[in-house]
C-alpha cells in the first residue's frame, strides 16, 4: 500500500511547456518579431527620474511599511563628461542620439524589434563594462531522476507485525532527450569552445548517447541536448561539467548615461527577451502546459505608478541607464527577500528552485531571491529594456558539493542582466553590454540607495564575479521538456509516454580550474 506522502508526490507539479518548439527537431527559436519604435523627434534635454514622493508611491498590498532615506533629486542633465582615465582598449562612447517622443505613462514605450537586415557590425562586449582579473572555474551539476518511492505493508501470515517493504517504480522509454543549460557568454563570463562534457547513466549502465547544441533560444540561451535510445531503470543520472572564464567587472556609469534608446531595434538575443517566459510571464499548468499570462497587469500598474510619482510621462524621458537604476532602487525599497532559495525533496536533497507566481510576489512584496529577481526582470521588460535572469553558483573555498537545499542555497547567486545597446557606437559598428544587477546583495548592503548620479554597488561593478559561475538564464528550459516538483534548470522528454510523476534531486559544485601553461584562459576582447 502506498503512503499518503506518495499520493501527495503524485499530485505534484509536472512542469511542461507545450507551446515551445519540439525538442526532437533540435530547434533554434526565432525571437518574436516586433514593430520598430516610432521615429524620433528632437526632445528636451534628458532628465533623471525625480525623487518619488513616499506618500504617493504605490506599494504591493500587505507590504510591510519601510522608511528608506530619501534619494537626492538630481538636476536635469543632457549627459556627463567622458572619464578622466579612459581605458585605451575601450573607445569613447558616441554622443547620445535623440530619444523618441515620450508616450503617456499608462502606455509604456513598445519594445523595439530586432535590427533590420542591413545592420552594423555588433561589438560584444562593448566598452561600458570592463573585464579584469580572469579566473577559470569548473562547474559540475548532477541531476538524479527516479521513479516514485513508497513503502508497501506486507501482512505477517502468523499474525505478527506487518513488514514494511520499500518499493520504487521503474521508468521506461524507447527514446529520450535531456537538455541542460550551457551558457556561452554573460556580462561577467565567457566559455571557451569545447570546454564541457556530459554523461548519462541508466541505473549503473552508461548508454550510447548523441549530444548536440541548441543555439539561439530565449534571451540568448544555449542548451546541450543529449539523445538516447531505449532504457528502463528505477534511477537515472545526468552529469555535466563545464568550464568558463569569469571576470571582475567595472561599469562606466557616466558614459552609459550618454547612450540613448535605440531607434532601429534590438539585436536578436535582446529582442527575444520580450517573448513570454515561464515564472516571469506565466505559471506552468499541469494540463495545458502553460497558464495565461497574468503577471503583466500587476507589474504594469506598479511600474507605471513609480514612473508617474517620479514625474516621468514615459520611460524614454530618461536614458536606459537611468531608468534601469531607478527601477532597481524601487525594487530594493518595495520588496523583501524571504524563504530559502531551494526546495528540498523527501530526502532533504535539493529538488529545485523555490518560486511562487509573480502576481503573488507583487501583491505581498515578498519572495525568494529567485522571485525578487523575476520581478526586476519583468519591470525592466515592461519599460522596454531587454533583461534576463542569471543563475550563478559562487565558488566555495573547498569546492564542496552541497547535498542539501540549505547548503546549496548559501552558494546560489541569482541576479539580473539588462541590455545596454548603443546603435551609434561607431559609424559602422554598434555595441552591446549585458549589465549585471545583483538586487539581492544590493538590498543587503544598500537598503536606501543613494542618488541616481552616483555609482551603486552591485549595479554594473562587481569585485567578486570572477568567483561566480553563471550557468542558466531560465529556471526551466524554454523548449518542450519536463521536470518534476520544482524547476531544476534541466528537462527531458520521453517517448512514447512521459511519466506522470517522478523524483528529482540536484547537486552543484564550483572549483578553480587548473591553469594552462601557468596562465588562465583570457577573453580575446580584454
Q: Is residue 519 part of a domain?
A: no
Does residue 101 register a pLDDT over 50?
Answer: no
* 267 and 196 co-located in one domain: no
Positive/negative CA dihedral, 493, 499, 500, 501 = negative
The predicted model gives 110-114 an average pLDDT of 48
* 391 and 499 co-located in one domain: no
The predicted model gives 10-37 an average pLDDT of 39
What strands, in cross-sheet order, belong to the sheet with 429-437? 121-123, 429-437, 412-422, 387-394, 468-472
Return the number of other C-beta atoms located less than 10 Å from residue 102's C-beta.
16
Beta bridge partners of 224: 180, 213
User: Per residue in 483-515, is it b (16+ CB within 10 Å) or e — as a string?
Assistant: bbbbbbbbbbbbeeeebebbbbbbbbbbbebee
The domain total for the chain is 2
* 310 and 170 co-located in one domain: no
* 276 and 402 co-located in one domain: yes
The three-point CA angle 292-297-299 to 5° equals 115
CB contact at 8 A, 344 and 142: no
Grade residue 52 by pLDDT with cuts at 50, 70 and 90: very low
pLDDT tens digits, 164-207: 766 668 899 999 999 999 999 999 999 998 889 998 988 888 88
* 380 and 322 co-located in one domain: yes
* 505 and 363 co-located in one domain: no
Look-up of cell digits 558616441:
94
* 201 and 262 co-located in one domain: no
Exposure of 446 by Cβ count < 10 A (0-12 exposed, 13-18 middle, 19+ buried)? middle
* 342 and 375 co-located in one domain: yes
Positive/negative CA dihedral, 29, 30, 31, 32 = negative
* 220 and 364 co-located in one domain: no
Q: Is residue 55 part of a domain?
A: no
Does residue 22 register a pLDDT over 80?
Answer: no
Q: What is the pLDDT of residue 28?
A: 36
* 258 and 190 co-located in one domain: no
**Three-state DSSP string of 169-235:** CCEEECEEEEEEECCCECCCEECCCCCEEEEEEECCECCCEEEEEEEEEHHHEEEEEEEECCEEECE
Q: Is residue 487 part of a domain?
A: yes
Q: Is residue 289 part of a domain?
A: yes
Beta bridge partners of 226: 178, 211
Grade residue 332 by pLDDT with cuts at 50, 70 and 90: very high
Share of the chain above pLDDT 90, in %: 51
Q: Is residue 194 part of a domain?
A: yes
Q: What is the pLDDT of residue 17?
A: 40
Q: What is the CA radius of gyration of the chain?
A: 24
CATH number where 293 lies: 3.10.620.30
* 289 and 259 co-located in one domain: yes
pLDDT tens digits, 244-276: 999 999 999 999 999 999 998 899 999 999 999
Q: Is residue 110 part of a domain?
A: no
Grade residue 298 by pLDDT with cuts at 50, 70 and 90: very high
Q: What are phi and psi of 41, to 5 degrees?
A: -130, 150
User: Closest by alpha carbon to 90, among 132, 128, 133, 122?
Assistant: 128
Q: Is residue 80 part of a domain?
A: no
Does residue 114 register a pLDDT over 60?
Answer: no
Does residue 156 register a pLDDT over 60?
Answer: yes
Find the range with the poorest average confidence among 74-88, 162-176, 286-300, 383-397: 74-88
DSSP per-residue codes, 435-483: EEE-HHHHHHH-SS---TTS--BTBTBBSSGGGEEEEES-SS-SSS-BE
Which residue segment(s) compose the domain that 143 sits in? 4-29+135-152+162-244+476-512
Grade residue 440 by pLDDT with cuts at 50, 70 and 90: very high
Q: What is the pLDDT of residue 428?
A: 87
* 263 and 382 co-located in one domain: yes
Q: Is residue 292 part of a domain?
A: yes
User: Closest by alpha carbon to 470, among 198, 188, 279?
Assistant: 188
Q: What is the pLDDT of residue 278?
A: 92
Look-up of cell digits 536533497:
349
The predicted model gives 142-154 an average pLDDT of 77
Amino acid at each position: 500500500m502506498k503512503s499518503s506522502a506518495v499520493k501527495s508526490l503524485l499530485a505534484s507539479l509536472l512542469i511542461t511547456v507545450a507551446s515551445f518548439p519540439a525538442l526532437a527537431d533540435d530547434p533554434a527559436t526565432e525571437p518574436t518579431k516586433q514593430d520598430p519604435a516610432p521615429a524620433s523627434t528632437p526632445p528636451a534635454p534628458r532628465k533623471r527620474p525625480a525623487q518619488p514622493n513616499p506618500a504617493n508611491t504605490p506599494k504591493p498590498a500587505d507590504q510591510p511599511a519601510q522608511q528608506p532615506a530619501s534619494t537626492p533629486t538630481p538636476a536635469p542633465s543632457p549627459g556627463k563628461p567622458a572619464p578622466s582615465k579612459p581605458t585605451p582598449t575601450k573607445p569613447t562612447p558616441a554622443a547620445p542620439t535623440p530619444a523618441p517622443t515620450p508616450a503617456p505613462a499608462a502606455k509604456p514605450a513598445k519594445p523595439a524589434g530586432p535590427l533590420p537586415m542591413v545592420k552594423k557590425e555588433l561589438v560584444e562586449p562593448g566598452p561600458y563594462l570592463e573585464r579584469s582579473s580572469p579566473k577559470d572555474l569548473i562547474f559540475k551539476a548532477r541531476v538524479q531522476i527516479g521513479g516514485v518511492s513508497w513503502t508497501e505493508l506486507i501482512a505477517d501470515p502468523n499474525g505478527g507485525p506487518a513488514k514494511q517493504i520499500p518499493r520504487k517504480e521503474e521508468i521506461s522509454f524507447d527514446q529520450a532527450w535531456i537538455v541542460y543549460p550551457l551558457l556561452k557568454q554573460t556580462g561577467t563570463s565567457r566559455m571557451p569552445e569545447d570546454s564541457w562534457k556530459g554523461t548519462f547513466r541508466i541505473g549503473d549502465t552508461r548508454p550510447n548517447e548523441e549530444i548536440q547544441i541548441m543555439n539561439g533560444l530565449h534571451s540568448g540561451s544555449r542548451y546541450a541536448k543529449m539523445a538516447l535510445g531505449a532504457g528502463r531503470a528505477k534511477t537515472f543520472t545526468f552529469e555535466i561539467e563545464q568550464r568558463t572564464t569569469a571576470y571582475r567587472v567595472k561599469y562606466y556609469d557616466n558614459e552609459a548615461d550618454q547612450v540613448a534608446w535605440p531607434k532601429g531595434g534590438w539585436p536578436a538575443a535582446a529582442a527575444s527577451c520580450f517573448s513570454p517566459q515561464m515564472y516571469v510571464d506565466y505559471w506552468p499548468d499541469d494540463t495545458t502546459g502553460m497558464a495565461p499570462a497574468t503577471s503583466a497587469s500587476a507589474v504594469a500598474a506598479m511600474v507605471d505608478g513609480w514612473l508617474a510619482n517620479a514625474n516621468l510621462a514615459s520611460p524614454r524621458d530618461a536614458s536606459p541607464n537611468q531608468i534601469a537604476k531607478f527601477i532597481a532602487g524601487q525594487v530594493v525599497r518595495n520588496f523583501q527577500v524571504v524563504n530559502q532559495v531551494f526546495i528540498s525533496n523527501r530526502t532533504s536533497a535539493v529538488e529545485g528552485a523555490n518560486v511562487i507566481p509573480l502576481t503573488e510576489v507583487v501583491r505581498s512584496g515578498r519572495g525568494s531571491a529567485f522571485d525578487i529577481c523575476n520581478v526586476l526582470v519583468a519591470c525592466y521588460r515592461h519599460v522596454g529594456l531587454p533583461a534576463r535572469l542569471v543563475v550563478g553558483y559562487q565558488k566555495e573555498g573547498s569546492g564542496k558539493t552541497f547535498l542539501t537545499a540549505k547548503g546549496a542555497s548559501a552558494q546560489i547567486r541569482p541576479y539580473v542582466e539588462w541590455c545596454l545597446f548603443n546603435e551609434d557606437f561607431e559609424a559602422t559598428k554598434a555595441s552591446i553590454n549585458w549589465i549585471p544587477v545583483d538586487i539581492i546583495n544590493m538590498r543587503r548592503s544598500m537598503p536606501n540607495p543613494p542618488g541616481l548620479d552616483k555609482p551603486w554597488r552591485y549595479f554594473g561593478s562587481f569585485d567578486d564575479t570572477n568567483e561566480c559561475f553563471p550557468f542558466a538564464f531560465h529556471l526551466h528550459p524554454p523548449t518542450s521538456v519536463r521536470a518534476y516538483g520544482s524547476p531544476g534548470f534541466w528537462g527531458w522528454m520521453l517517448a512514447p509516454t512521459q511519466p506522470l510523476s517522478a523524483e528529482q534531486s540536484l547537486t552543484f559544485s564550483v572549483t578553480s580550474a587548473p591553469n594552462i601553461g601557468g596562465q588562465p584562459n583570457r577573453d580575446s576582447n580584454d
